[in-house]
């Protein structure tokens, strides 16, 4: 197992580091690392494997191979923690290796765990993921327990130069069940957004964006437009691009005019591109990384063609 190298405050604020990385790669694209046995390339021969240790080894190899392809192209990757947790201890060792490998390739790492709790438990989550052995640059956070439950994450993020992304309007269809309920004349997600923007301003340290960001799904373009306006100091993490139905034109409203302010996520469309005939055309099973490269390049070009991210091209 490779031990992750903890990031230091001297590396700067997350808001500044992600901005610099996006400008360096000239794209706001983020690739989700969601390894699933049934979806892995046939060349990895994972379909019949049930042993968690063996499967964890394959997950590590797969994610490393994906990282090798996307590291020169994108600024950040987003490991989905559940995919690794499902394999127990061996999966968590694989996750540590993947995080460390991504960082060795100069990628920022966003741990997608949607953590949330109160008091000392929230402090433990924050310390573990943002300041401790996992050494992620940012973490997704669930605000359902209230704004006080977010405070331990904010405190740790500020002290460690990390970031958090709070669930505001998620990409799944069922998000409307609770997030769109109206209270005091506003939808619940609008109340959450107001709290997140307040925290973003508080943690901006005189900069353009704060340490606290928001998760807003690409599948809700109207709400995305409105929330960009309502949260001008907040980085928006936008999942749902590609396989979940979000198009480049749907995420235009997430950006400022200069192409900044948003991080657009695609996972399955890119990492499992071998299953897309238009991406896998002419390739052998062992050439699945070329399909990943094609899909990643396509995502980058679509965002540049149909969103303000075109401004990043200079």
Residue carrying the six token digits 């968690």:
52
Q: What are the residue numbers of the active site?
A: 114
């Amino acid at each position: 197992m490779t031990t992750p190298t903890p990031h230091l405050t001297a590396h700067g604020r997350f808001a500044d580091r992600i901005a610099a990385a996006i400008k360096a790669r000239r794209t706001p694209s983020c690739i989700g690392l969601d390894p699933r046995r049934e979806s892995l390339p046939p060349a990895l021969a994972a379909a019949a494997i049930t042993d968690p240790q063996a499967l964890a080894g394959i997950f590590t190899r797969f994610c490393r191979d994906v990282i090798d392809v996307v590291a020169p192209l994108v600024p950040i990757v987003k490991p989905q923690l559940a995919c690794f947790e499902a394999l127990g201890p061996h999966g968590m060792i694989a996750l540590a290796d993947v995080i460390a490998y991504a960082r060795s390739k100069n990628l920022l790492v966003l741990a997608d765990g949607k953590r949330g709790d109160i008091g000392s438990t929230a402090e433990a989550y924050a310390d573990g993921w943002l300041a401790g052995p996992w050494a992620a640059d940012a973490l997704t956070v669930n605000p359902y327990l209230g704004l006080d439950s977010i405070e331990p994450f904010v405190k740790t993020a500020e002290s460690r130069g990390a970031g958090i992304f709070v669930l505001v309007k998620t990409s799944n269809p069922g998000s409307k069940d609770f997030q769109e309920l109206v209270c005091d004349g506003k939808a619940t997600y609008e109340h959450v957004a107001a709290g997140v923007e307040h925290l973003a301003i508080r943690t901006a340290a005189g900069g353009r964006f704060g340490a606290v960001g928001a998760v807003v799904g690409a599948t809700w373009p109207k709400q995305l437009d409105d929330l960009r306006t309502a949260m001008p100091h907040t980085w928006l993490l936008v999942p749902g691009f590609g396989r979940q139905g979000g198009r480049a034109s749907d995420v235009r409203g997430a950006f400022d005019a200069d192409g900044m302010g948003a991080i657009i996520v695609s996972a399955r469309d890119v990492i499992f591109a071998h299953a897309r005939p238009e991406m896998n055309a002419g390739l052998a099973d062992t050439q699945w990384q070329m399909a990943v490269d094609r899909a990643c390049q396509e995502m980058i070009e679509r965002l540049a063609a149909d969103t303000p991210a075109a401004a990043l091209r200079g």
